[in-house]
Chains A and B, each alone.
Chain A
């Protein structure tokens, strides 16, 4: 197990370098350091000297990937790529173009992101699995048919619609919850209720249908027939046997996204005024703040790798036949 984990962690290093290089290339294909300087300095009274000064101040006055004026390893280390990327492997993200410390921002914003994403994930998983099992229980009946129809309808509606409709009815028309905003401590509860409700409802359609398919595949297997032959009730068959055996594909989809919950949701956070990492990323892309964009992509890649490792571990936990070597 330990050797497996070590190997996976070592594999992660070239992946992260590759992700970094790809982000860097894509970003600088679209934006030159001059473009970034102009955007930061504003549209008025910007002189070429001011642009040069900004680039020097922010470390964008060097060649992108290869510094031919230097000798030896400095050809690679005295470049924008190296100067802005090497420290990230020590999780030192530096400062954004607005001068704020990125590490500090990430630490501050992770909480609000999790306050939405975690309940949406947990409640959503419970609701979706329960609804899927209910449809499987009533398989080949009208209840199952209408359940599937409901799922298809729910998954056909844009996520944005759920947000706008939720805000309109619950917050504006019925005055039950704040339409947007965030607060610390116990006050956060009333701000997260609406986005969580919207997040759960908008995910039911696709989630429940997916789990229904998994459970239907399981329910025709021999061990289910054996369980029924032993006289177990249908509820026990579903919850004790089908659910347990259907866990592997559920874990594949669920555990891998678990670490990514830290990254927040781009649209939800923006509409509900949640000061999380999703809105941070969107703002950075709009502001062409490369330091923040690369930090968030790097963090996303690290969390995704962690998610994959956790998924592998969860296989071993869910299915004793799986051995990690």
Chain B
């Protein structure tokens, strides 16, 4: 027994003595530690990688790197600026009246029947290597006449022996626009785009009819005409838009308008392909800087540098701050700057955070659990990294998101809704009472800015400082914006007919209902906070918790009274926020995005003027009129613009938050040698617990063994 214990001790000591620098906890076995790669994670596996369908952030994170629409956002310039990607230039629309006569650029919106965008793409752009393009010596496609048996045993695109490529042509863009109308794809923007692109709705109906006539058979989209999208020549195509819709240019920077080669559709529609997950929804084919080399959304997705990429270079223009931050150090260098990007599925925040600290992920967000570990606030309220983070060389990047959270009032509600002055005052009183400065401090760790209106910073129309304050909720004290005192809210409440929270005539307490999807302990504290805020006015709040489906149903039918909602910008234009308050877009009746069912004719009239205007003083003046109306009517409590806090390691370069662009991976640079060194330094295995565990086991087993021997001897 003593011999066994001594042996274990020796093993433990030996292990301790042999403690080396090997990283036992490396989650990337077999990968070159010094590879020029980005290591990242995804929390939820993407549902769609087809550019006609993918919309959510976790999908566009991939499609944005693989597919190339004609336009993109400049990586460094602010305010956000559209620049060409595959296009030769940003197209300028030509306007026509109902008789087809050309109109000048200054023509009023009402006179414009059609806008025509002619887009010329640069020649010489080629697709990634892909078996869909592979041809034999006689020019026949190798993989366009396959049987199900030919696909058996293939799990990845790399399992196909031959690949090919071809030049990008204008017809590929037109083909994709037609795909938006395909009934089998259920493109999320089909409804919206069919209101704008000439003939798209009709194409959708024709495709639906054809699908019904031939169920289960793939449609040849080239056989269907779309009046609003036509090929002019090999490198030019034309899109016709109903009326004037200047925001259409922003859509041309999204993957929805990226090219799809017909060969890919033919390749993936063959028998046996879908059963092996070989679909355009899971195996993209693009011209972008990366291609999807490994596609296992249950574990890992790997993007690799596209060998056929067309030689885009790092931007050479940026402001002084960009230069000071080293963001122009790579100016003019060919993109992409990394060879691959490894995305691992990481559903839980704790392992994600730990791996980031171990150096196995290059960057990380900050969850509430780890916020105090990462960030502290200085005396003047500025967020700073903690010493532990600074010692590791971690950098903090903050940015205000182009998003808004608000508490909506159902304007159809008999108690809280309507445009009568007393109702306005009731909503204004509630807006004052809900102290979002406190909310941001308690629940968001300071990661938010109290909102003064519907337009977040970074979007044209937003006014910074006291000039942009909401006078119904805030007031200026010098250059500071201060929430109005609760006394003002009580006064407004009394004027609204509820002195001290009770109905002036009946004396009954004012009871309001708050619908929310939030649940769980975290949500309870937030909901209690909201109750407490209204309690300051002696107004009772009843929280009606519900699931996502029932909540949506209530909003759709106008059965909610107060509710929480948010919006994330599709593009950097005030139209994309004001349309949420546009009367004809009401949820009830029209199924639009106006969840509060706000409908003010004056606001609607101004919106219709503003939406088609170019940015400038005239547009700003109209926006300010709209802001005045909407702040007075208060259909929303403008809660806050969220701020994102991100962390990155020292070896990650060229990181500048760009909330509009989704193709920024190509600009990213890493220092793989520094990363490998840090990983080795931070992940030396600690071996004494193994020895200690062995000793503990011996200590546990020894008394049992001794007792057993004694028992056996006694029995004998």
Interface residues of A (CB under 8 A from B): 30-32, 35, 38-42, 44-50, 53-54, 56-57, 95, 97-101, 103-105, 108-109, 134, 137-138, 141, 143, 164, 167-183, 187, 190-191, 233-235, 270-273, 275, 279-280, 283, 287-288
Contact = CB atoms under 8 A, between A and B. Distances in A.
B547 interface: yes
Nearest to B689: A174
A36 to B, nearest CB: 9
Interface residues of B, number: 66
A99 B553 CA distance: 26
B704 A31 contact: no
Contacts of A137: 708, 711
B47 A175 contact: no
A45 B192 contact: yes
Contacts of B345: 273, 275
29 contacts: A35-B548, A35-B553, A40-B47, A44-B188, A44-B570, A44-B593, A45-B188, A45-B593, A46-B188, A46-B191, A47-B591, A98-B47, A99-B274, A103-B275, A173-B686, A174-B689, A175-B358, A175-B686, A176-B24, A176-B690, A177-B24, A178-B27, A179-B355, A179-B358, A180-B348, A181-B344, A270-B348, A275-B296, A288-B549
Nearest to A283: B45
Contact of A273 (B47, B279, B344, B548): B344
A234 B27 contact: no
A98 B48 contact: yes
Contact of A275 (B208, B299, B552, B591): B299
A137 B30 CA distance: 48
B276 A172 contact: no
B350 A164 contact: yes
Contacts of A272: 351
The listed residue with most A CB atoms (<10 A of its CB), out of B29, B190, B711, is B29
B552 A35 contact: yes
A289 to B, nearest CB: 9
A183 B707 contact: no
A35 B549 contact: yes
A175 B23 contact: yes
B354 interface: yes
Interface in B29-76: 29-30, 44-45, 47-48, 55-56
A299 to B, nearest CB: 17
Contacts of A32: 549
B422 interface: no
Contact of B351 (A175, A233, A271, A283): A271
A187 B188 CA distance: 41
B547 A30 contact: yes
A100 B277 contact: yes
A174 B686 contact: yes
B712 interface: yes
What is the interface of chain A mostly: helix, strand, loop, or mixed?
Answer: helix
B592 to A, nearest CB: 9
A170 B687 CA distance: 10
A175 B688 CA distance: 12
A10 B351 CA distance: 46
B685 A172 contact: no
Contact of B25 (A54, A178, A283): A178
Contacts of A54: 186
Contacts of A38: 549, 552
A108 B183 CA distance: 30
A95 B351 contact: no
Given A45-B188, A270-B347, A275 B298 contact: yes
B346 A190 contact: no
Given A99-B279, A171-B25, A273-B344, A41 B186 contact: yes
B26 interface: yes
A103 B277 CA distance: 11
A231 to B, nearest CB: 9
Contacts, number: 170
B189 interface: yes
A195 to B, nearest CB: 12
Nearest to B193: A45
Contact of A234 (B29, B191, B296, B715): B715
B282 interface: yes
Interface of B: 23-27, 29-30, 44-45, 47-48, 55-56, 183-184, 186, 188-192, 208, 274-277, 279, 281-282, 296, 298-299, 344-348, 350-351, 354-355, 357-358, 547-549, 552-553, 570, 591, 593, 682-687, 689-690, 703-704, 707-708, 711-712, 715
B186 A175 contact: no
A95 B690 CA distance: 47
B712 A100 contact: no
A154 B356 CA distance: 31
Contacts of B682: 175
B298 A41 contact: no
B684 A99 contact: no
B26 A178 contact: yes
Nearest to B351: A180
Nearest to B345: A273
B24 A190 contact: yes
Contacts of A49: 191
A99 B707 contact: no
A30 B274 contact: no
Contacts of A47: 191-192, 591
Given A95-B274, A179-B27, A167 B191 contact: no
Contacts of B56: 42
B271 to A, nearest CB: 13
A45 B275 contact: no
Contacts of B357: 172
Contacts of B24: 175-177, 190
B186 to A, nearest CB: 5
B274 A101 contact: yes
Contacts of A99: 48, 274, 279, 281-282
Contacts of B29: 183, 187, 190
A174 B25 CA distance: 9
A202 B687 CA distance: 23
Contacts of B26: 178
Contacts of A287: 47
Contact of A138 (B351, B354, B707): B707
A149 B707 CA distance: 19
A176 B686 contact: yes
Contacts of A273: 299, 344-348, 351
A311 to B, nearest CB: 32
Given A171-B25, A179-B358, A271-B350, 20 more contacts: A32-B549, A39-B548, A41-B188, A45-B593, A49-B191, A50-B190, A53-B186, A54-B186, A99-B274, A101-B277, A104-B276, A167-B350, A180-B351, A181-B27, A187-B30, A234-B715, A271-B347, A271-B351, A280-B298, A283-B45
Given A45-B593, A173-B686, A50 B347 contact: no
A179 B344 CA distance: 13
A288 B29 CA distance: 35
B300 to A, nearest CB: 8
Contacts of A108: 298
A100 B155 CA distance: 13
Nearest to A276: B298
A138 B704 contact: yes
Q: Which of A56, A105, A180, A272 neighbours the largest number of chain B CB atoms within 10 Å of its CB?
A: A180
Contact of A45 (B25, B189, B358, B689): B189
A87 to B, nearest CB: 14
Q: Nearest 7 pairs between A and B by C-beta?
A: A47-B191, A275-B298, A35-B549, A180-B351, A181-B27, A174-B686, A178-B27
A176 B692 CA distance: 14
Contacts of A234: 711-712, 715
A42 B355 contact: no
Nearest to A36: B549
A155 B62 CA distance: 44
A179 B354 contact: yes
A143 B685 contact: no
Contacts of A168: 354
A172 B44 CA distance: 23
